[in-house]
């Protein structure tokens, strides 16, 4: 039996730290809480194991910067970002910086647990595709070839005008595709779209299994390749 995995919780709100500590402990993880990014970075290095769950807006830096700093230190644990004020741009930025997932507060704790488990499994190199991932892949499976190309652009945070130009399509067509993608995949927000497309792409390409989250490698190229394939 594997030892209980570590979860490094970084959030400046005491109630969030406390509630997540309780949740992770009761679910068989070993939680460690930090108030600020620097506190966690001070203990981080190549030997760091487990998963990081970090707030996007930390007192000393953003979750995106924190993720980059971890990678610079050679610490490779997957990072799940939680945020009370997400925007699609922020989500894309976080995922591009190498975060494995982004959840909006308040989140379903099952979703957070699934996200952490998925990230840890990917790090161990196990293609442990859970029910949620399968469902996500299935949701994106219904997309047409052109919709996939538009999706790649949307997930990279590019505005419709840009995507239209890049693909040689009319703006109206791109907007129509966007609406169709949201409807087919049953997605309400752009943040959800960015997040799900990343999960679907990494699961499909199997990138996560062989070469989990290479440090400092921008996720966006990953995404684009997978979606276009």
Partner 1 sequence: MDQSSSDSRAELHEAPAPLRSSRRAAAGADDLRRAEARLEAVLECLADAVLSIDEKGVVVAVNAAAGTLFCCSGAALLGVEAATLLPESRLAAGDRRSHGLARRPDGSTFPIALTLNETRGDSRLRIAVIRDLTEQRAGEALLCELRAELAYAGRLAAMGELAAALAHEINQPFSAIATYVRTARWLLQRKPKQTAEIEDILDKAGAQAMRAGDIVRRLREFVTRGESVKTVQSLSTLVEEAKSLGVAGARHVGAQVCVAAKAEHDEVLADRVQIQQVIVNLMRNAVEAMDGAARRELSLSTSAADGFARLDVADTGHGLKDGGGALFEPFRSTKATGMGIGLSISRSIVEAHGGRIWAEPNPQGGAIFSFTLPLAERASP
Question: Is residue 164 within the footprint of partner 1 (CB under 8 A)?
Answer: no
Question: Is residue 130 within the footprint of partner 1 (CB under 8 A)?
Answer: no
What sign results for the dihedral spanned by CA atoms 215, 216, 220, 225?
Answer: negative
Least distance CB 3 / partner 1 (angstroms): 21
Span of 12-20, 139-147, 176-184, 213-221 interacting with partner 1 by CB under 8 A = 12-20
Tell which one of 12, 130, 132, 146 touches partner 1 (CB under 8 A): 12
For partner 1, give the closer residue by CB, 11 or 147.
11
For partner 1, give the closer residue by CB, 51 or 164.
51
Strands 6-10 vs 51-55: parallel, antiparallel or unpaired: parallel
Q: Which residues pair with 57 in a beta bridge?
A: 62
Question: Is residue 167 within the footprint of partner 1 (CB under 8 A)?
Answer: no
| Residues in 78-117 that interact with partner 1 by CB under 8 A | 82, 84-85, 105-110
**Closest CA relative to residue 20, chosen from 119, 104, 112, 84:** 112
Q: Which of 52-90 are b and which e, b meaning 16 or more Cβ less than 10 Å from the residue's Cβ? A: bbbbbebeebbbbebbbbbbeeebbbbbbbbbeebebeb
Span of 51-59, 71-79, 117-125, 148-156 interacting with partner 1 by CB under 8 A = 51-59
Least distance CB 195 / partner 1 (angstroms): 17
Query: Applying CB under 8 A, what is the total number of residues that bind partner 1?
Result: 24
For partner 1, give the closer residue by CB, 9 or 200.
9
End-to-end CA distance of the chain: 38
**Closest CA relative to residue 171, chosen from 159, 157, 184, 161:** 161
For partner 1, give the closer residue by CB, 23 or 209.
23
Contact 4, 49 (CB under 8 A): no
What mask of x and - would describe binding to partner 1 in positions 53 to 82, judged by CB under 8 A? Answer: ----xxxx---------------------x
Report the SS3 class of residue 12.
Answer: coil
**Closest CA relative to residue 198, chosen from 150, 128, 140, 144:** 140
The whole-angstrom separation of Cα 91 and Cα 157 is 9
For partner 1, give the closer residue by CB, 20 or 122.
20
The residues that touch partner 1, with contacts defined as CB under 8 A, are 12-13, 15-16, 18-20, 22-23, 26-27, 57-60, 82, 84-85, 105-110
């Amino acid at each position: 039996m594997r030892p209980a995995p570590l979860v490094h919780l970084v959030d400046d709100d005491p109630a969030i730290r406390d509630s997540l500590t309780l949740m992770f402990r009761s679910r068989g993880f070993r939680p460690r809480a930090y108030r600020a990014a620097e506190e966690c970075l001070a203990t981080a290095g190549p030997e760091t194991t487990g998963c990081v769950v970090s707030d996007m807006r930390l007192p000393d830096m953003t979750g995106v910067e924190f993720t980059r700093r971890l990678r610079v230190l050679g610490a490779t644990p997957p990072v799940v970002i939680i945020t009370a004020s997400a925007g699609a741009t922020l989500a894309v930025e976080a995922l591009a910086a190498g975060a494995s997932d982004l959840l909006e507060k308040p989140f379903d704790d099952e979703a957070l647990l699934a996200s952490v488990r998925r990230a840890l499994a990917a790090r161990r190199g196990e293609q442990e595709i859970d029910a949620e991932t399968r469902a996500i892949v299935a949701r994106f499976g219904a997309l047409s070839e052109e919709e996939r190309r538009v999706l790649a652009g949307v997930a990279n945070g590019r505005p419709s005008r840009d995507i239209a130009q890049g693909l040689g399509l009319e703006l109206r067509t791109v907007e129509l595709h966007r609406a169709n993608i949201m409807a087919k995949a049953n997605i309400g927000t752009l943040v959800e779209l960015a997040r799900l497309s990343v999960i679907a792409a990494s699961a499909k390409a199997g990138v996560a299994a062989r070469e989990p989250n290479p440090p400092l490698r921008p996720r966006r190229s990953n995404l684009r390749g997978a979606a276009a394939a």
